[in-house]
Chain A
């Protein structure tokens, strides 16, 4: 019998797989950021079932992993915001949303 917590953990494991595939196989940078977020939320879910399995002392779930996930969600958001700012700057420099190094137009040197 699979418990609700184990089911969520397996969901998290598949989410990690889906996110990892999107991160590797999709060349579009914005979609890589999306996939990275899905990967991250899968990892958070695995944390969540560790918390749920640690239910003790009258708490329905261990508070320590939960607190870590809360800070993790905020850090994932900050990382996404930084990644998107870098992406938008890249596009404004090269006119192209691509991570390929030999993109036409990328050769221009930034003036300082």
Chain B
């Protein structure tokens, strides 16, 4: 039983690790900020999700497992908000850039 659980943990954490690797490559290689942001949020969600899943199998008791899920949920919330704020900043910068390129002075 514990052998199967260990195998499940190793598999889930490895999958999570793979997502983090893929997301980091995306963060470094994607051309524009919005694409990089996309890669990052996917990783936060899936990578951390699988790692938490793998750790739940090893947690002692329901309370520990719930804490792990709470960590995942809080990271989702923080990640989604910061992605939203960064995207907003990028858009505002582009709008200002487009305005000044069009000849009208940026407000």
Q: Do chains A and B touch in the complex (CB under 8 A)?
A: no
Residues of B within 8 A of A (CB): none
